[in-house]
Structures are given as structure tokens and as C-alpha cells.
Structure 1
Amino acid sequence: MKDFTVPTRNEVSASNQAIFDNLQSKIGFVPNLYAYYAKNETALGDYLTLQNRKSTLKAKEREVVNLVTSQINGCRYCQSAHTAIGKMNGFTDEEIIEVRQGQASFDSKLNALATFTAEVVENRGKASNDAKEAFFAAGYDESNLIDVVMVVGDKIISNYIHNLAQFDIDFPVAPELETAHV
């Protein structure tokens, strides 16, 4: 079987080295997921552009989408990374576990977002009318719906990359849940 490795700075192109240097200065390290993208000449820059695009969703809302999507797709790397980022955005450990299960009983608006996201991911974009109605009733609009799908797409890319390559997780490893989604 193929052994997937994460490239070092010296093993990537000059343009990707510049991105590595920027990541190193901004966040203190180059996450393995980002480094792996650098095996391709343009993927790292393209992915970071997608990930950092302006959004109608607040950072905490994007983390709900990231956590739900990563849980459903079984990506341990992204579950771990977004558990750490979720904590930086004010979620408690208990709230993160609940969000990963597709719920947020602690916040009705985030609960509608988590439920909607879970249905979007599980049903490949075919959320139920109830989930859509609850999403809109919670105060979201069609612009937000588009951004949810953009974040789901972003996260599916990363989930699939890690699920295929299985490189080391360089974040505190998130606890495993008994089921992917309740």
C-alpha cells in the first residue's frame, strides 16, 4: 500500500514555501493538512483562498458547519483541528461534542444551523423541508444557505484528503464519538 507522507518546506515549490512561511508566522506552525496540499503546485493556495473567503457566517457558525461535516465524514484530523478552533471561538468541550452530533441545545439558532448542516451533508444537499424551514425561522437567509454549502464543500475537500492519506494529526486529538451522527 502507498505510504502517504507530509512534505517538509524544502520539498515543496518556492510559491508553496512562501505560503509555509506565512502560515508559520501567522499561526506558529504549518498544519500537516496544509503541508499535504503543497504536494500539488496550486492546491494549497487555492484551498486557503476558499477557506478564507468572506462569509455571511460568523466564525462560531462556520465552526458548527466544520464540526458537523467532519463528524459525518469521519475525518479525525478535521474533528481534532476544529475542536481546537471551536474552543478558540468560545465553545466548551461539551458544546463541541453536542455540535459534532448535529445538535446545539445550548443555542436555538446554532441548533437550527447544526441540524440543517447535518441534513445537507448526510443527504448530499437534499435537506428536508423541516430543516430548511427551521434554518430560515432561526434568522438565516438564502445568502447564509449559500455560505453553509460553501463551508461544507471546503470541509469535504479536507475530510476526503485526510481520509485518503491518513497523515498524522498535529492537533490535540478530539475524543471519538460512539456514532458519527445522532
Structure 2
Amino acid sequence: MTYITSLSIEQADPTTAATLDAVKAQIGMIPNLFATLAKSPTALNSLLGLNQTIGAGSLSASEREIIALATSQANSCQYCVSAHSLLGKNAGLNPQQLIAARTAQPGTDRAAAIASFTKALVEQRGHVAIETLDQLKASGLTEADLLEIIANVVATTFTNYTNNVARTTIDFPVVGLELDA
């Protein structure tokens, strides 16, 4: 059951309504997450601004989706796992890559390094072992990449916590949180 209800464009003040209209124009819909955040224009605009900034960074769209999936799985956010499974597919990730991002198994390639670092960052609340950081550099990730991953984790954690508290109704194809061991 939804705890924080979403706000329709008709219920929103003119500025927030214009923001929601811009979201709809950009992605073709107003996801329930954004309609929920619209209850607080500060929260909505904070997320949109952060997403715009990190979207212009050096990480690719598929890498950002790997981070979102690993973060969402670690934070048990079914709304975001569902949303980012679709967005990840649209960014070029195949079904195996979507699962690999969510399981965040360590590996030597860049995608595995990003996913495993993301999982460690969330689960260890930023207290990541030096060995993990060294593995990132060995995978070709730079210090700038590491900071950008952190920024992406922050944005996704914001949405995870919002959806987990609000119990946002999933308006994407539903993906379960369970993973085969």
C-alpha cells in the first residue's frame, strides 16, 4: 500500500506542474517516483538536477544503469530494480548483464568492477577496503570515475529510500528482488 501518494499535474502548483510536464516531454511519461517527489518541489528538483549533472559525466549510460541496478538491489528497492531493468535494457544491457549488475560479482572487466564497487560502497556505507579500491584502478577506473560512481550511488540511494518509504506503486514492468543463488 502506498504511504506517500503521488501528486498529479492538476494538483501541483504551476512551477511544479511545469517541471512534471518537462519530465513527461523528455521521457514520455511521469513515473510515479517523480509524481511522488513532486509533493516536495525541493526534493524533485534536487533529484532532477543531480541526474542532469551526472548524465553529462564520463560514465556511459549503461555504466550508470549498472550502478543504479547494483545500488537498488543492495537497498532492496523493487521499484528501482524494475525501472532500471527497463532503462538498462534501453541503454544496451542484455539480460545477463542486467543480472550481473544486480549480483555485483567481482570481476576484472570494467562493468564487474563498477558493480562490485557499488555494492561494497552501499553495504559498507563508504568504508571500502583499500584492496577493493586497488582492484578498481587495476580494472582501468580512474579516481574521477570512482567519484562519479559515488555521485550516481547517491542519486540512486535517494530514489531507493524515497520509494521504500513511500511504497511507490511500480509503473514499470515488475522485476522481483529475488536472485538465484
Residues matched between the structures, number: 179
Question: In structure 2, how many angstroms separate the alpha carbons of the residues matched to 1:174 and 1:104?
Answer: 23
- How far the C-alpha of 1:76 sits from its partner, in A, is 0.4
Query: What does residue 121 of structure 1 align with?
Result: 122
* Ranges in structure 1 where 5+ consecutive residues have no aligned partner: none
SS in 2 for 1:172: coil
In the alignment, the residues of structure 2 paired with residue 116 and residue 140 of structure 1 have an alpha-carbon distance, to the nearest angstrom, of 11
Say whether the 8 Å CA contact 1:34–1:44 is kept in structure 2: yes
Q: 1:121-145: per-residue Cα shift (whole Å, max 9, x none)?
A: 1100111222211111111111111
Distance 2:167 2:152 in 1: 22
Deviations 1:74-116 (A, max 9, x none): 00010011000100111112221121011376x7111111111
Q: Secondary structure at the match of 1:177?
A: coil
Q: Distance in 1 between matches of 2:146 and 2:2?
A: 39
Alignment of 1:112 with 2:82, yes or no, is: no
Corresponding residue for 1:35? 35
Give the superposed CA RMSD.
1.9
- Once the 2 structures are TM-superposed, how far is the Cα of residue 170 of structure 1 from its aligned partner? 0.5
Deviation at 1:155, TM superposition (A): 0.7
Higher deviation after alignment, 21-30 or 65-74: 21-30
Instruction: Report the CA distance between 1:39 and its aligned residue.
Output: 0.2
Q: Cα–Cα, structure 1 residues 2 and 154, in superposed 2: closer, same or farther, change >3 Å?
A: closer
Per the TM alignment, residue 42 of structure 1 is displaced from its structure 2 partner at its CA by: 2.1
Runs of 4+ in 1 over 6 A off after TM superposition: none
Letter in 1 for 2:98: I
